[in-house]
Amino acid sequence: MNLRKIIGKDIYWIGVNDRKTQRFENYLPLPYGVTYNSYLIDDEKVCLIDTVEVGSISEFLKKIKYVIGERKIDYLIVNHVEPDHSGAMQEVMEKFPEIKIIGNIMTLKMIKAFYPDFDENKFQCVKEGEELNLGTHKLIFATIPMVHWPESMVTYDKTEKILFSNDAFGGFGTLNGGLFDDEVEFNDFKDEMRRYYANIIGKYGMQVNKAMTKLSALEIKYICPSHGLLWKDKIDTVIKLYSDWANFIPEEKGVVIAYGTMYGNTEKMAEIIAKELFQCGVKNVKIYDVSKTDSSIIIGEIWKYQGLILGSCAHNNAVYPKMLPLIEKLNNYGLKNRYLGIFGNMMWSGGGVKALECFAGETKGIEKIGGSVEAKGAPSEEIINKLKALAKEMADKILV
Ligand code: FEO
């Protein structure tokens, strides 16, 4: 059975790998799957920390039984009500009718919204900093609002110095044998961790900063999130990454070019820009066709690099349809601290470049560079020169 005693003599990872679900939150693709991490502390009082998504209940209940046999569970801590973590709560309550569900005042509101039949008598509300004594383990609670929902909180095990961080410090991707950061190649997980951050929590950088400040007072030996790798060797690394991501600080010098094209002329323009960036010394140039690559993957890359160049053909006097969700999301997430270049194709009407310019104007914190370059069909010699000038200006900005 895929479970493991992870820390000390009585703390188990009883999470599940989900390689079947196509899309997280029903819209984000999962090419490498996702985990729902749950933890069981087999102390004098038995305590479960979060559960799993509804499709994994059967496997999850078998793991609980394997660890505790006929004993009962005393507490289920609901760090976060989103159903990828609370999906098995009702089944756990049925199996263990004496269980207490632990959460904060917002947790109860959210549980009642998702599970209207929830019996409030089973709920034990904890306050900020309140302690729960399991016997050997002493747990305390801290809220981290909007990381990822209003009721989100973390549980800190004072005894073993473990932060059960829920969505914070989590990532996409299943755990394929190793659980801890020192048991696997971290770089294999990093892109999916960044994509998770950018698309799930990216909008809430200010709240992430507040949470990090609050948690900085704790001595932390292990971070056990509810998705992806568990952290012990690279705690400083992931805290630094989180801080940078929350503050929109790019990790590397490089440029993402994302374009929407119908018949290839806007793509040709992207290629001209990319070649010129390379000739100017930019080594990391990533080109994405927005019709082919999911916007969540492009957004993850935009979080990584400082330069962004967007290109759109015109479609019904407007931006290319597959470009629209990308710029809407970037605007919604409040993208900052990026240089932006714009190009596109107007044909007879225009609309694509204009929409990108609106995006640039509305998204405070990004700096538009150069003039927008707009072709009429195949790029002319004059347009090619303008594209090269745009690329050179971008290279000058990011290679300082
Ligand atoms: Fe992993 Fe916000 O749920």
The whole-angstrom separation of Cα 210 and Cα 213 is: 5
pLDDT tens-digit readout, 260-299: 999 999 999 999 999 999 999 999 999 999 999 999 999 9
> Which ligand 1 atom is at minimum distance from the Cα of 166?
1
Measured distance CA(303)–CA(293) in Å, rounded: 16
Buried b (16+ CB within 10 A) or exposed e, 136-162: ebebbbbbbbbbbbebbbbbbbebbeb
Ligand 1 atom at shortest distance from the alpha carbon of 152: 2
Q: Is the pLDDT of residue 130 over 90?
A: yes
pTM here is 0.96
Mean pLDDT score of the chain: 97
For residues 81 and 111, give the distance between their C-alpha atoms in angstroms, rounded to a whole number: 6
196 and 228 in contact (C-beta within 8 Å)? yes
For ligand 1, atom 3: residue with the closest CA = 82
Q: Who has greater pLDDT, 244 or 2? A: 244
How many Å lie between the centroid of ligand 1 and the Cα of residue 155?
15
Strands 366-368 and 338-345: parallel
* Model confidence at 366: pLDDT above 90: yes
Q: Which atom of ligand 1 is nearest to the CA of 170?
A: 1
Chain segment 197-226, per-residue pLDDT in tens: 999 999 999 999 999 999 999 999 999 999
Ligand 1 atom at minimum distance from 36 CA? 1
The rounded Å distance from CA 391 to ligand 1 centre is 39
Atom of ligand 1 nearest to the CA of 149: 2
Residue type, 96: F
Instruction: Compute the distance from residue 82 Cα to the ligand 1 centre, in Å.
Output: 5
Distance 80 CA to ligand 1 centre (A): 7
State the closest ligand 1 atom to the C-alpha of 226, by its place in the atom list counted from 1. 1
How far, in Å, CA of 60 to CA of 79, rounded? 18
Pocket of ligand 1 (CB under 6 A): 80, 82, 84-85, 148-149, 167, 226-227
- The dihedral over CA atoms of 19, 169, 162, 10, expressed in degrees to the nearest 10, equals 0
- Cα of 221 vs centre of ligand 1, distance in Å, is 23
Residue nearest to atom 1 of ligand 1 (CA): 167
Sole residue written with tokens 């005042």: 105
What's the CA-to-centroid distance between 154 and ligand 1, angstroms? Answer: 13
Alpha-carbon gap, residue 255 to 277, rounded angstroms: 8
- The pLDDT of residue 1 is 84
What is the CA(247)–ligand 1 centre distance, in A? 21
pLDDT of the residue at 355: 97
- What is the per-residue pLDDT for 125? 98
In one letter, which amino acid is 165?
Answer: S
Output the CA 394–ligand 1 centroid distance in Å.
Answer: 36
Atom of ligand 1 nearest to the CA of 227: 1
Q: Tally Cβ neighbours within 10 Å of residue 208.
A: 23
- For 322-364, how does the pLDDT look when each residue is reduced to its tens digit (9 = 90+)? 999 999 999 999 999 999 999 999 989 899 999 999 999 999 8
